[in-house]
Amino acid sequence: MLKKSFLFFLAVCSLQLLSAQENVLKSFPKGSTPKEVGKRLADHFVGSRHDLYFGQWVHYASVCSWNGAIDYALKVNDKKLIKQLENKFEPFFTYEKALLPPMNHVDYNMFGSLALKLYQINKDERYKELGLQYADTQWEVPANAKAEEKAWAEKGHSWQTRLWIDDMYMITVVQGEAYKVTGDKKYLDRAAKEMVMYLDELQRPNGLFYHAPDVPYYWARGDGWMAVGMPDLMRMMPEDHPDRPRIMEGYLKMMKSLKEHQQPSGMWNQLIDEPTFWAETSGTAMFTYAFIVGVQEGWLDAAEYAPAARKAWLAMIPFIDERNNVTEVCIGTGKKNDKQYYYDRPRNPGDLHGQAPYLWCAAALLGK
């Protein structure tokens, strides 16, 4: 009888502990709830002008923010916001058509993910057709392709492959949305094959990623694209997909290292392993998102990673200013083998590289 009572007591304690761990990512102080923060940032994005490459084409950071605002709007069932986000896109079919990025570069093709995401809401065939053009041209080798680009294609990869650390997100997000829309396994297999190759080529023994093979620095936002791309892709993959174990291995290895490098404040620094560098918001938000998804999916130990994700989220909020701009966002950054270069990078309030992952976190915290 005593043994049964003890076992019952342990079961109750375990349930209470599990419930407490789940609540860690569900209950936040007023002003810091994902619904409040997401609303501030999504409304700010809707009312903003397009962020353009060279004043010509929609920038991928704008696409990322747009996708995040859509995810948030769907989670809270804000029909007005959803319509506003669709209305912001509609002119691309008419008088803003010239702003559509060309289909000839990994960063430009990423635009297709937005059209495909909106198609899943409005079922307008124009959105599907446009989005699939961007997805398919990532694999359709142009006649004027360089020898290196053709070589990647011959191996079954996108001709737009560069082995830059952000590509693991830019390529896989478009192929992933195409898979959701069509159910065609070729899109999922493309994304998975690309992801595995990037992991094999770029991940370091400690689980993190250099900005480039010849630049041995762990730049936060660069690693952030990896941290977000892996769980987003795995969420779509069936358990028996042959590439899933390799991606899971890379993801868990990275998450362990990120947990070890989280600063006492809850943030991550501009260079992840440099404690004297400044706290950078876009990378922090990306890592936080990766933790949140991992806990929700049961891939990460909730007792260890849920408090870390909560600490990071609460640390992130004060970096949103009174104009609803995320501050301390490192601007777009090319590689350079110079540590001081990373420390000296300008920081732009409202830079969409930061607005986007904040929105991803807000949407993720609102539940699966």
**Cα atoms in the 13 Å half-sphere on the side-chain side of 11:** 6
Name the least confident of 6-20, 131-145, 201-215, 242-256: 6-20
Q: Is residue 181 over pLDDT 70?
A: yes
Burial of 321 (0-12, 13-18, 19+ CB in 10 A): exposed
Q: What is the pLDDT of residues 133-149, one digit of tens each?
A: 999 999 999 999 999 99
Q: Which domains does the chain have, with CATH numbers?
A: 33-366 (1.50.10.10)
- Residue 130, pLDDT score: 98
Q: What do you get for the CA distance between the two ends of the chain, in Å?
A: 41
Q: How confident is the model at residue 16 (pLDDT cuts 50, 70, 90)?
A: very low
Mean pLDDT, the chain, rounded, equals 94
Residue numbers in the known binding site for substrate are 166
Residue numbers in the known binding site are 166
- Residue 1, pLDDT score: 53
Q: Which two tokens stand for residue 71?
A: 């995810």
- Residue 316, pLDDT score: 98
Q: What is the pLDDT of residues 102-141, one digit of tens each?
A: 999 999 999 999 999 999 999 999 999 999 999 999 999 9
